[in-house]
């Protein structure tokens, strides 16, 4: 499992990159960022000393922090691209999320320092000598930083690197903060020196918000988030494109940084032999590997023919789902004759967001409605699907319209 699935990563645009190429892209982005930021830091410090602008000095510190984050990026790339081992069979991809949290923490610390000095400048305003040539230099650095952000974003999307994308947004916040500095310098030329401190304070707030966003996204990834909708759609389309697959449900995606492990249920005709059904599941597995580079576990569910009795049951359950917004659908509907009794089995799909409707009462209502319309049913077995699964393309969705 590990030998195959750690060689390939899937970017958000669906493209694939090998881990070696992914590592090269990350290192390229990191080293270029370091070089550019060191140069810009030196320029901004010199101009800040000449002009006496605290906002520009704060902006220079922000630029220097970009160097630190780029170093963290390089370290995380070295760790996250290591293949799985005995203790970490799923690889080390989540090191990228840890690196992003460290970047966010450093951003927050920098924001605090900038806020502290900005408050001092507000309480004791200092006239900033900012000539037009100094303003022009700062505007030039804005263009360079935005170009660096665009470059890093393109690399991040090509390789599917969240930590590089976080680094790119760090560059963009630097460009925005520099723009605010330019505004403060222009106001200072018109005798509004107190705005320098306020602009610096605003920059610190912007940095805090950026740190919060990066840390929240990374923590969410570590805890576990809803699967990417585009990837789920690709998985569904690939599975449904295999001859013999009538529906797909219970799609689960486990993310370990660049590595994705997927499980899904496919629906096939109940009359197929065990070997035929197994052959279809293997074809789905191979196609997912070839197209997306992911490891998958494919479970086969037989679906019954739509006899008049079966269609009657479908209508009852369909009516129940329409009456209860908390129920998004169903699958695995089976009507089985057991010991001279008719038993009914189905799985209910709940809304992805919890609602006030008690799940137990929902089950009871569903069972009562089935028994009211289908008195011949002896026992009703209903299972609630866990919310971490995605069931949008079951055969029964066609009935629901």
- pLDDT at position 18 is 63
pLDDT at 140 over 70: yes
Judge: domain 2-223, CATH 1.20.1510.10: yes
pLDDT band, very low/low/confident/very high, at 4 (cuts 50, 70, 90): very low
pLDDT at 399 over 60: no
Most confident by average pLDDT, 20-24, 74-78, 170-174, 396-400: 74-78
The reply to whether 305-401 shares the fold of 227-303 is: yes
Residue 306, judged by CB atoms within 10 A of its CB (0-12, 13-18, 19+), counts as exposed
Q: CATH topology for 227-303?
A: Alpha-Beta Plaits (3.30.70)
**CA–CA distance, 54 with 57 (Å, rounded to integer):** 5
**CA–CA distance, 157 with 341 (Å, rounded to integer):** 57
pLDDT in tens, 338-378: 888 889 998 888 876 655 557 778 888 888 888 888 888 88
pLDDT band, very low/low/confident/very high, at 9 (cuts 50, 70, 90): very low
Most confident by average pLDDT, 59-73, 78-92, 260-274: 260-274
pLDDT in tens, 233-254: 999 999 999 999 999 999 999 8
- pLDDT at position 398 is 57
- pLDDT at position 15 is 47
Assessment of whether the complete model's pTM goes beyond 0.85:
no
pLDDT at 59 over 80: no
Domain boundaries in the chain?
Answer: 2-223, 227-303, 305-401
pLDDT at 159 over 70: yes
The proportion of the chain whose per-residue pLDDT surpasses 70, expressed as a percent, equals 89
CATH architecture observed for domain 305-401 = 2-Layer Sandwich (3.30)
CB atoms within 10 A of CB 386: 10
Burial letters for 359-371: b for 16+ Cβ neighbours within 10 Å, e otherwise?
A: eeebeebbbebbb
pLDDT in tens, 283-317: 999 999 999 888 899 999 998 888 888 888 888 88
- How many CA atoms within 13 Å lie on the side-chain side of 317? 29
- pLDDT at position 14 is 40
């Amino acid at each position: 499992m590990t030998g195959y699935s750690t060689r390939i990563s899937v970017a958000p645009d669906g493209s694939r990159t090998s881990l070696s190429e992914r590592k090269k892209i990350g290192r390229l982005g990191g080293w270029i960022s370091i070089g550019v930021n060191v140069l810009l830091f030196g320029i901004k410090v010199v101009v800040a000393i000449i002009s006496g602008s605290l906002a520009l000095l704060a902006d220079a510190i922000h630029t220097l922090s970009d160097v630190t984050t780029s170093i963290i990026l390089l370290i995380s790339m070295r760790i996250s691209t290591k293949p799985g081992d005995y203790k970490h069979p799923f690889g080390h991809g989540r090191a990228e999320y840890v690196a992003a949290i460290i970047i966010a923490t450093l951003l927050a610390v920098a924001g605090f320092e900038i806020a502290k000095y900005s408050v001092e400048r507000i309480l004791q305003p200092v006239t900033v000598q900012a000539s037009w040539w100094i303003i022009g230099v700062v505007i030039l650095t804005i263009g360079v930083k935005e170009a660096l952000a665009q470059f890093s974003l393109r690399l991040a999307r090509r390789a599917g690197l969240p930590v590089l994308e976080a680094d790119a947004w760090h560059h963009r916040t630097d460009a925005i903060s520099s723009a605010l500095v330019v505004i403060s310098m222009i106001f200072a030329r018109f005798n509004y020196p107190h705005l320098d401190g306020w602009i610096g304070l605003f920059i610190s707030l912007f940095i805090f918000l950026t740190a919060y966003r990066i840390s929240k996204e990374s923590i969410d990834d570590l805890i576990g988030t809803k699967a990417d909708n585009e990837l789920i759609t690709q998985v569904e389309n690939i599975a449904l494109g295999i001859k013999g697959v009538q529906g797909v449900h219970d799609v689960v995606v486990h993310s370990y940084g660049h590595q994705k492990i997927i499980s899904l249920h496919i629906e096939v005709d109940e009359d197929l032999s065990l070997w035929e059904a197994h052959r279809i599941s293997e074809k789905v597995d191979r196609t997912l590997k070839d197209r997306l580079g992911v490891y998958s576990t494919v479970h086969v569910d037989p679906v019954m023919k739509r006899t008049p009795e079966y269609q009657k049951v479908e209508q009852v359950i369909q009516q129940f789902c329409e009456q209860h917004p908390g129920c998004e659908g169903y699958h695995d509907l089976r009507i089985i004759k057991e010991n001279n009794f008719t038993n009914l089995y189905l799985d209910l799909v709940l809304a992805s967001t919890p609602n006030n409707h008690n799940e137990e009462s929902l089950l009871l209502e569903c069972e009562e409605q089935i028994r009211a319309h289908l008195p011949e049913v002896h026992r009703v077995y209903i299972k609630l699907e866990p919310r971490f699964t995605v069931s949008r393309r079951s055969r029964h969705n066609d009935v629901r319209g």
